[in-house]
Structure 1
Amino acid sequence: MDEVLKEKKIGLFIPCYINAVYPDVGIACYKLLCSLGLDVDYPIDQTCCGQPMANGGYQSKSKHLAERFDKLFKEYDYIVGPSASCVAFVKEFHPQILGRPVHECHSSEHIYDITEFLHDVVKPEKFASKFPHVVSIHNSCHGVRELGLSAPSERTLPYFNKIRALLEKVEGITVKEPSRLDECCGFGGLFSVEEPEVSACMGRDKVNDHIATGAEYITGADSSCLMHMQGVIDREKLPIRTIHFLEILTANL
């Protein structure tokens, strides 16, 4: 790893639902970055990035949160968070909400999903963890199409998958992908509330596609998608579990 990177200041952004429902994912993110010798800080006063309000049609209500977010993280060289959807919202929509060009919106210009930060910036040769299990990667919509974490299936691009590249640095793991590589799981935030029957059907199809790979676990970079699929698994008592990929990368830390 570049020694200059160790001198950079990293602000850890933990989205609301991870803080409230999946704190272990936030802890795993912090532990992993520290284990790589990086200078990581968690701004204790951070709040929501504003995505729920904006997605619900009340974008103006998210402006004060976007302003607060930008101010809170302005001193950091990198802002890193374990949620593709929240990171994509900050990157793509904060400048518009704040009425600023991208280069004047610090949060938008400096934020990274943990996947792209590890893969594109840190570039570790390997991880210390061991995970002797078969996993199937869930490529979430925001990660694929807004952050470029993998090649979207609807475009004729050479195959790449940054989550897979990172997982393959873990000892003992076997990595699979479903036949429909980046088909939506049906969560979609408010979509799952407004169209529950369609959402549940999409989730069931997606989980069965993962099961067909022979995997023991479904893994990915978005806890929201994993939460939705775990709900299907629990209700129907299906023979598979979900796990955030950061929990795999930190399995022995």
Structure 2
Amino acid sequence: MRKLYFTLCLSAVALLFSCGNEKQPEAPTPAEKPEQEERVDTLAMLVMQVQKCSRLYTTEYRVHKIVTHDDQLALKGKLFSKDYNINLPLGKRKVAIPIDATMKAYIDFADFSAANVRRTPTHIELILPDPHIVLTSSRINHDDVKEYVALMRRDFSDEELASYELQGREAIIKDIAKSNIIEQARIGATNALVPMLRQLGFDEPNIIISFRKNFTPQEVEQLVDASTLEKKNGGANRR
């Protein structure tokens, strides 16, 4: 029997980045170039400046989770056509593993293009690339791991503890997917991009920063970089 109990401590941190702080060349006046050509030049300048943001980390979540597991040694079988399941005395063992993890959301602007921009003479909307979520760190506080092993049972092996730790990380990802990490990622990107768009002459009330869609919790799980989960699965070495 396995149980996962969750103690979640979230602190969303908006990380502000400065994207392209260098002085921008002055846009040509209508007297110098036709209005349509001026718009094209401004759009190209906008795309170039946004691409300079590269990988923009916007949100950080810190999670504390306690993973528990318990099992009972039992005799199971059939006698006189009746099933039996008898728990053996001194056959129980339990473990509680505290895990602290940090997850970050970022937006990669490497492929940002004019297709991500919708604009009118007065308004502009930037459709952000899909965000990515990475498990940047996770650790077990070995001093706080609690084990109970009855006399008839063997101790938990390193492989078993590593398996429970991996289950904890997977549970953290599922719980993060139900949080507002995607909305926080959009807000963080807005705080970084709006000042740049104001420098290009757009009024803040006329600026819209959005994602291409609203993500469900199941879709958010797919945005997590799975390789980070594998890299962190280095085993639960015992002390």
Per the TM superposition, whether the score is higher than 0.5 is no
More relative contact order, 1 or 2 (CA 8 Å, 6+ apart): 2
The structure number with the bigger radius of gyration is: 2
- Which of the five TM-score ranges fits, normalised by the shorter chain? under 0.3
The structure where strand makes up a greater share of residues is 2
* TM-score where L is the length of structure 1: 0.20
TM-score by length of 2: 0.20
Greater helix percent: which structure?
Answer: 1
